[in-house]
Amino acid sequence: MSIYGASELARSFRTVRKNTIITAQEIPEEQYGFRATPDTRSVAETLIHMAVIPTFGERIHFNDKIDTFVGFDFFGVMGAHYAAEKVARTKAEIIEMLTVNGERFAQLLDGVSDETLAETITYPPGMEPAFKTRFEMLLSTKEHEMHHRGQLMLMQRMIGIVPHLTRHFQARVAEIQAAQK
């Protein structure tokens, strides 16, 4: 029995991406160049990174459907992704990338069979773990985005914005406290 499969992956990815898009919308475009420190990604670069990363999963699991990373040009593929982060884009263009790439990835997730999710991808000798399932790797796309959204939420705080998830939590707490009085 599977309690977390393709439809749950797709649904949870859509939720994470929805919150990323809200975060992107709330940050003023004039703050898209903000960096927490000089050696970190800017808001725009972080958002573009988040928009592009699912295309790596698309390539690995849906287009090329690799079963091993032995001989795979990881740095060549990721180099193209990192180069995309440096391309100047408007806030609207970045939000469009997040929207389009996110929904395309979610639709791909929605159609994956349990058998495909159980397949393993072998890592090069000496790497730990020696392999991962497609499920683990596809789930890590969402986890990766949540990691970077946490960075964005800290940057929001640094520029004087209370993140929407925090505001919603504070409102729920206030409602509960008011109901208890």
Asked whether residue 1 is domain-assigned, the answer is: no
CATH number of domain containing 98? 1.20.120.450
Number of domains in the chain: 1
Give, for all 181 residues of the chain, the pLDDT tens digit: 468 899 999 999 999 999 999 999 999 999 999 999 999 999 999 999 999 999 999 999 999 999 999 998 888 888 988 999 899 999 999 999 999 999 999 999 999 999 999 999 999 888 888 899 999 999 999 999 999 999 999 999 999 999 999 999 999 999 999 999 8
Between CA 113 and CA 168, with CA 102 as vertex, the angle to 5 degrees is 110
E strands, the chain, are: 120-122, 131-133
pLDDT at 134: 95
Half-sphere exposure of 7 (CA within 13 A, CB side): 2
Asked whether residue 160 is domain-assigned, the answer is: yes
Pairwise CA distance, residues 109 & 13, whole Å: 9
pLDDT at 4: 87
pLDDT at 75: 87
Asked whether residue 156 is domain-assigned, the answer is: yes
Residue closest to 109 by CA, chosen among 4, 3, 26, 23: 4
Asked whether residue 166 is domain-assigned, the answer is: yes
- Domain limits at 92? 6-180
Could you tell me the two tokens for 111? Answer: 């159609």
pLDDT at 1: 47
pLDDT at 3: 80
pLDDT at 38: 96
Residue 128's Cα: distance from chain center in Å? 23
